[in-house]
Each structure stands twice: as C-alpha cells, then as structure tokens.
Amino acid sequence: MRVVLITGAASGLGWQLARACHARGDALLLTDIDASGLSARADELGSERVMALAGDITEPELHERLLDGCRQRFGRLDVLINNAGITHRSPTLRTDPAVFRKVMAVDYHAPLELTLAALPLLRESRGQVVAIGSMAGWMPVLGRAGYCAAKSALGQAFEVLRAEIARDGIGLLMVYPSFLDTPIDRNALGGDGKPAGHARSTIGKIRSADWMASLILDALQQRRERLFPDRGSWLASLLWRLAPALYHRKMSQRFAGEIS
C-alpha cells in the first residue's frame, strides 16, 4: 500500500487525485487551506486509510505537521503530489505587487520547500514527487504575469532538482496541463487581491479534472518524467519559441479582454 500526500486536496484536481488514489488502495494524507471542505472530503472517503490536516501550504509549520503525520500515522511516504495552486487574472500594470508575491508563494516557494522537507522520507521509500506545472510556464498568457512567472520558476527549479534526487532513487514527474475545469480559475484573484471580476479567456479545449487525474496516475505508474496532456497547448508553446511575433498577435487577439 502506497502512502500519498496531496496538497490542495479539497477540490478540483487535488480531490480527483485523492479519489482515484483511494480507489487504487492507497493511504492518503490530504491537506488544503479550506478546513471545512477538507473535513467533508475526508469523511466522504472514510478514516481507515485517510488523514487530513488543514492549513496554509506556504507555512513551514504545516510542512512539519504533514511530515510528522506521515511518520506517526503511516510510517512512510511514497508519493508527494504538489497540487495546491492559485492564479490571478489582471493586467500586469494594474496588479498590486502583493498579488504577485502571493501567487509566487503558493505556486513556487511552497511546493519546493515542502518537497525539500520531504526528501528524507522519500529517500527511504525511493518514492516519487509530482509537481503540477502549467503550459503557462512555457509560454506567456496575457493577464497572468504572476502565474506564468511562478509556474516557470517551478518548472525550472524542479527540472534542476530532478538530477539531484535521481541519485537517491527518487522519481520526479512534472505535469504541464493547459486549461482545466477546476476552482483555481473560478477563484482567481484580480489585480487588487479580491476575486477577479471577469471571465477567463482560454486556448483550446477545457479538460475535466478527473481526466487529468487519471493521466497523472498512469504516468506515475510508468515512472515518467514529464506529462504534456494537451497537444494543442504543447504546439502553442512551440509556436512561441519558433515564431514569437505571430504567437503574440494570436494571443493578443484571443486574450484582448485580459489587458483592456
């Protein structure tokens, strides 16, 4: 039986991952900032193989509680899934710097710091780390400067980390999804830090969270290093590299509402 730690587990992709892992027989340690939502999810799964600890993923104190929980309740950690995330929809020139700092704290600093803290347990199990990146880390998406920067930093840091932890037998799966039907966009921040007041612009097909969760677990089983689930977004990232002026024209047309 694997022990899987999932952040941002009360809704969206994190919840679908929790459901799918539980159905496969895994023991789960779940965390989310939404304490009531997390408690309800844990009750839904049952307590036999599930432990839930609510808190702010940017706080090192929560990292300590999570890893202590792994040791005391389960005695091991096999998979760490860094799923918790936040985004914003706001022009860069009209975004409070505090919004950029918050997005960077949740989407970059927290997963890196939690992963580093979890390495002793993962070395023991020769386990795996999952980091949920984004195609926005590969190509600019208008109105998402902070999110693009955070996901780019996440991808670069974890690609460097991959070579170092491979020596200890720890696998690392970077996931690069495109637009998913999850609360992260419904709860996006505006430039003032309050909920964004306009609908999001998208590229390509909006995929479901359960579809994405299934692909991630299959990739974990195969011990893959990277997952690019959306071919259209992957091609768009190539367009950005090969013809950046054309990409910007297309993006400006599609995302005009994000910068007006």
Q: What are the structure tokens assigned to 153, written together?
A: 């930093």
Task: List the one residue out of 172, 183, 211, 199 whose CA is nearest residue 256.
Answer: 199
Residue 147 a catalytic site member:
yes
Task: List the one residue out of 259, 260, 240, 257 whose CA is nearest residue 248.
Answer: 240
* Residues 25-45 as b or e (16 or more Cβ within 10 Å = b): ebbbbbbbbeeebbeebbeeb
Mind spelling out the 3-state secondary structure of 112-139? HHHHHHHHHHHHHHCCEEEEECCHHHCC
Find the catalytic residue in 108, 147, 176, 247: 147
Q: Would you state the torsion angle of the CA atoms of residues 228, 230, 235, 237, taken in this order, to the nearest 10 degrees?
A: -60
Residues taking part in catalysis:
147
